[in-house]
Amino acid sequence: MADRVFTVLDLIDLDLKEHNSLNLRCIGGRRGLGRPIDIPDLNRPMGAIMGFFEDFAYQRIQLFGRGEASYLRRLENDGNIDSIKEMFSYPMPCCIFTHNYTPHKDFFDIAENAQCPILQTDLGSADFSSRIMRILSRIFSPRQVVHGVLVEVYGLGILIQGESGVGKSETALELIHHGHRLVADDVVEINCINGNTLMGAGANKIIGHHMEIRGPGIINITHLFGVGAIRDRKEIQLVVELEEWDSQKNYDRLGAEDHTVELLGVNIPKLTIPVKPGRNIPIIIETAAMNERLKFMGYHSSKEFNKNILKWIESDATRSVFFGHDDVI
């Protein structure tokens, strides 16, 4: 996963809002809150509490829904808690009870002796499962930190990269003036979700929506342009590389070839834009964003242009012009 251990306490302390909130609270086994969570998956331990421990996935978070809670209640009424004791002999990360269910005192005592955290949520099992799996997949996803500016232009996430001083932040500032949104400046943290989607965000939430502009210095985009000018996260769908204009270099003028760059094993469309005085880079990026959206919709401007040129060359009118002249000997 990431470059540090993710613990049960980290799971409880996650700053999650609205449809992402897990509503977790610790109701027992607090001494075990430092236990690491190593696998981003859940296990429903019905087999374990029934005394069947073959292939028991104890390394995962143990989720107790209504079915497991009902069977626990039956065991507690019968005074048969041997399977519960055996279950806690395994180093489970934690046990989570949905529907605000509170287990019996014997369950708490065994958990306390094993120093295994017992958590509780008011969410239903299905809702909680989908939320925590979505969150864990993001936390445990491959990640990379890159230098650049991430902006949203016409709904497209664009990562602007280039050498220091080439004008990345100034270009992003002009785009924000045009009504587009800033995601992160200078340092962008990229997460690969589901193996094919790259999500970018600021590496530091405190300074994520600030920009360093040579001259004015550090500016707060939220205070200057309002909350509508920022986003916390955005999928990266295009990489724009700004480079100083090189008169000896042949730049692509037709755009017939699609170029890509690999980030965390995912190929992302890439556009190289040479920078020199007089070129309006923000306008070019806006145009590139619209053109990329057309490609997503199945229309490739350069390829369509080449196709039309070939049709014109092969047309009857062209052949008549070519063959209509008398050869001069």
Burial of 92 (0-12, 13-18, 19+ CB in 10 A): buried
Which tokens belong to 94? 């934690």
The SS3 assignment for 288 reads helix
> What gap in Å lies between CA 192 and CA 138, rounded to an integer?
8
Q: How far apart are the two ends of the chain, measured CA to CA in Å?
A: 78
User: Which entry of 168, 210, 231, 234 is annotated as an active-site residue?
Assistant: 168
> What gap in Å lies between CA 191 and CA 236, rounded to an integer?
10
User: Which entry of 4, 19, 249, 253 is annotated as an active-site residue?
Assistant: 253
Q: Which residues have a Cβ under 8 Å from the Cβ of 201 and sit 6 or more positions away? A: 150, 183, 184, 188, 189, 191, 208, 232, 233, 234
Is 168 assigned a catalytic role? yes
Amino acid residing at 46: M
> What gap in Å lies between CA 221 and CA 224, rounded to an integer?
5
Whether 113 contacts 126, CB under 8 Å: no
The SS3 assignment for 299 reads coil
- Spatial CA neighbour of 123 closest among 137, 115, 135: 135
Side by side, the strands of the sheet bearing 42-43 are 25-28, 118-120, 95-97, 61-64, 42-43
> What gap in Å lies between CA 224 and CA 219, rounded to an integer?
8
User: Which entry of 25, 147, 178, 307 is annotated as an active-site residue?
Assistant: 147
- Spatial CA neighbour of 100 closest among 76, 77, 120: 120
Helices 66-78 and 105-114 sit at what angle, rounded to 10 degrees?
Answer: 100
Is 186 assigned a catalytic role? yes
The SS3 assignment for 32 reads helix
Is 105 assigned a catalytic role? no
User: Which entry of 180, 186, 209, 231 is annotated as an active-site residue?
Assistant: 186
Residues serving a catalytic function are 147, 168, 186, 253
